[in-house]
């Protein structure tokens, strides 16, 4: 059975990822330990879970990350610590 190439964008990028693997780049730091990544080749989006493993960025995880980001940002503002840099 043939494996289907899955891609959010570039089909050539999906081919590169199937051969060489993904090249993830941090797109957003949600908290100190939780980040969102995007593949530079195929634009696949993933996030780190509670154990530090990379998992697909579903709508549910996106919503959870947004809530955690707001809570973390508000705590940092309250304590006068400022922004989190990429």
Burial grade of 42 (CB within 10 A; 0-12, 13-18, 19 or more): buried
Confidence of residue 80 (pLDDT cuts 50, 70, 90): confident
Burial grade of 3 (CB within 10 A; 0-12, 13-18, 19 or more): exposed
What percent of the chain has a predicted confidence (pLDDT) above 70? 81
Average pLDDT over the chain reads 83
pLDDT of residue 84 exceeding 80, the answer is no
pLDDT of residue 13 exceeding 80, the answer is no
- Give per-residue pLDDT as tens, 38-74: 999 899 999 998 888 999 999 999 999 999 999 998 9
Mean pLDDT of 17-29: 91
Q: Which helix (H) or strand (E) holds 71?
A: helix 59-78
């Amino acid at each position: 059975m043939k494996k289907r190439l899955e891609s959010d964008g570039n089909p050539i990028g999906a081919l590169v990822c199937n051969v060489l693997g993904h090249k993830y780049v941090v797109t957003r730091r949600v908290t100190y330990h939780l980040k969102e990544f995007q593949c530079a080749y195929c634009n696949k989006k993933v996030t780190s879970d509670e154990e530090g493993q990379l998992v697909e960025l579903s709508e549910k995880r996106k919503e959870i990350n947004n809530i955690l980001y707001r809570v973390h940002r508000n705590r940092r503002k309250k304590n006068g610590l400022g922004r989190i840099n990429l």
